[in-house]
Structure 1
Amino acid sequence: MFVSARKLTQFLKPLSEATRDGVDLTVSLDEHGNLGWVGQLIKGLLSRFHTTLIKIASTAIQLSQQAPDLANLSKQLEARAQAQQANAENIAAASRTLAATVESITASASEASAFSRQVAEAAESANVNDLQSRNQIQAIGESTSALEQQMGLLKDSSASIGEVVELIKNIADRTRLLSLNAAIEAARAGEQGRGFAVVADEVRKLADQTMTATQNVEGLLAKIQEQVASSSDTMTAMSQQVHAGITVSQQAGASIEAASRDINTLIAHVQVIADASASQNDKVRAITDQIGAVVESSQQQLEGSQALAANATQMSAQCDTLLTEVGEFRFAGHKRMRQVVEEEITKWQLSRLESDDLDRKLCALYQRETAFEMLCITDTSGKQISSDVESGKVNLDGRKNNWSDRRWFQEPARQRRLYVSDLYRSVDTNQYCFTIGTPLFDQKGQLLGVMSADVRFNHIIGQ
């Protein structure tokens, strides 16, 4: 079978046009004539290739949709792992501080126990010394009582001496009186009584001396009695104080004995605290070791979270790369959306571009077709005339945009034909989209502007 080069070129012409903007998998060749079997074969290959790529794109989109969530979750997990590690490190530091504190408490408790024993020994010694002091004070009290009794006897004896002195004084007075009478009688006797007068005079002198001595003794005795009385009073007061001291000493002794018993009880409690502190110290050290293991595990978890975040980010980037490669192909959904746009523009029968009228047309188109992401229209210079129509709403701020540097505007404006872009990720919605740029003509065929239709890729492949 012979086929001319001209017929072969004409037969393959749709394939060359199919690669003008990407790779159109919806192209069909002539299935009649001598080369019909080739057209059917190519059509079957393209159909199978189309189906496979749709599955790849669908899977890639699912992965790409999960990748950001996985990346966010991994970042959250990483943040929580960092917080957990920080908390674990803080707990570890606190546990180390607690261990040091418990160890210090244990040492202090041991020192307190030793000191308590010293205090107990001192209290016991004080108790013994207090007992000796009480015995000595008791002996002093008994000596004071005996001395007080002797002072009473001395006071009584001094009173008896006073009576004797008074008796001697009376005898001296009478002797002196008798000597005076004897002198008178001797004077009456004259010479015969002269010797008797001398004796009487001597008796008078002796009576005078006795009186003088008696007076001296009486003065001394008065002083002695005064001193004895004062000493007796002092002794009585001292005896009272000694007895009071005995009472206080007995009370102090009882207090010391009670304090000694309390100290012994305190020693027992302190010893229990020391033993408990030692046991607690061991437990705290065990907990500190366990917390150290938790810190190490938290570090491993953090490293795992960081690796997961890196893998999620890498997977997202790889999905973007895969979809970018797949986005060079044009599927049946591309063809359908091109037809939707072209049919709609044909219905408009434009003669000029008026902003409010264009907004109404774009809103109506957006409501009919859910695959659109955003619609807008520019003039021939790339300045946007219409509003941004997105999510069924009109955004007037879009009229400030200038798209003269975008390929979706440049290609339709230059070549006067519809242009379909490769796949990209939308900045606003993070969804994969492609843009259909369509030239707008008036009824005379003059270029009025360019319409931009951003289409969600997942909608055209059934996602």
Structure 2
Amino acid sequence: MRLPLIGTLKLRGRLTLYVTLLAVVPLLASSLLGSNATQRMMQEQVHEMLRIEAEGLKDLVEASLAERETSVRSWAEDTLLREALLTGSYRQSDAVLSRLQLRYTTFTGLVLFTEDGRAVSASTEPLKDSFVGQEEAVRSSPWFKAALEGRFTSALLTQEDPVFGMQVLHLAAPVMESRGGRRLGVLLAAYDWGQVGEVVKAAMLRARARENDSFSLEVRTQADELLFDSRGQGAERMAHPVAVEAINGPEIPDVGDGWRFVALSDPEDVYASVNKLSLAVLGMVLTTVVVVALCAFLLARGVALPITRLNQSVRHIVREGDLTQKLEAHGDDEVGELARSFVQMVDNLKETAQSLQRGTQVLTDTVAELTRAAEQQENNITRQAAALQETQVTAQEIKQTSLIASERATAVLQVATKAEELGQGGASALSESMTGFQGMQDQVNEMAAQIGRLNERAQRIGGITQTVKGLADRSNMLALNAAIEAVRSGEHGKGFAIVAKEIRTLANQSIHSTAEVGTLLEDITQSIIKTVELSEQGQQRMEQGLMKARSSGESIQALSTIVQDNMNAVRQIASAVSQQNAGIAQIFTAMTDLSTMMHDTMVGLQASQRVTQALRDVAEQMQKVARSYRV
């Protein structure tokens, strides 16, 4: 995770910081480890020095005490002292004690006591007089009791002796009879405890040489009672001293067994050299940090300067879109390669922008042409759709007219069928009249009535024929209009033109057939009129009936033939009208399909217009992007 402060630094600052950290952190670690190791080593050396001093003091005091005890015991075995106690003459014993004090200056005085605590001889006369009247005190003193028991004691060492006027160590030994072993008295040797200061003088001088003025030596009992302090009695005790002690063990029996010899020193004095070393190391580290930071700054500046220039160029391109500026790349390192790659990228971008501008111009022109073509095509299709709509309405009208014509043709066919049946009935009646002339009158009357009805129906057929002719004329006109609209529709109206042509052909055939039917009907009408006239004449000229009946039979036979021809013509008209109705249905179906195709074409054209609009938008965006750079 990146620290917020580091995230705000630029490349030069980060490089300086990273290089400094890479150089300083190992240095600090090694310096810290080395300083700690050095401090531990020096602390161990200090403790070892204090231990040596304490051990030295212990050894010196222990050796001195052992030597003094040995001396006192040997002095207690002196013959003159024994004889003095046995004879009660103490002149020679005084001389002996006086000589011993002169020889051993560490003793402040020597006194010979009897078993009852009376001082009988001393190294000096005043010393002996100082014990006069102190027998009880002497007998109750620890050192006297210990001497009677044959041992030494250090009791009352911490106090100033009232007799000797100083702090002394009472070394007392029993004086025994040489042969019987009887105890004769006690010899007291007062050891000047201040002589310990002479013993530790050499150690104190060594401490002063080391500039350790706080160094001191102490002697303490097992109960932590102070027996000796090199700084003097009443000196203030250090708050948190560095202390090392040595204990007087029982290896060499003496009066100081269990004593603790302590070497003390103030931490500031003891670790002064360690602190100086730490300060020196700290100063060296700070100097190194400054030098490394300066070198890292110069290195970062050399690395970041080309990148800064390159960054300024990039910002100018991004802000101004100016690709015309000249970029320079120097150096063969990674930064130089980056600069050269960026110059190449700018050149490629410039070529891309130029190509993009040319492409967008071409795309814009193409989209404009597509738009114009689509608009023109939309106008053409709109007009075609309107024409197709009109044609579809016209086809619907033709279809309705064709249905009416088909129904009328069916009705004419039914009437013609009935006429055919009547013609056949007339022929049968004529045959019967030929066989039986007797009933001719009735048959002639009936024939006249049938001929009247036939005339009426022939006239109806004529009306129907005129109706069919009118339908054929209208079909011909509609087919002509359809052909004109098909020509206006172009390629899409070719199929419709073919159907319109067929409709015109069928209409022409219907007109021709209708004309023939009209002619036939006119002939039938004339024949019926003549038949009526002949019938009237037949009634008037009954006498001439047979010849005229034959003539009427022939006429009726001809009329039957005409009716048969009329029936065939009517069937042809009905077939033509049916074909015309089927053609019109095909035309209407084709018009419906053409309308569906036209609608699909309109949908496709609208989709093309949407695509063209999207292309226009893309072209405008590409132009905006391309024009944002100056090349």
Superposition TM-score, scaled by structure 1 size: 0.41
Higher CA-based Rg: 2
Superposition TM-score, scaled by structure 2 size: 0.31
Q: Identify the structure with bigger relative contact order (alpha carbons < 8 Å, sequence gap 6+).
A: 1
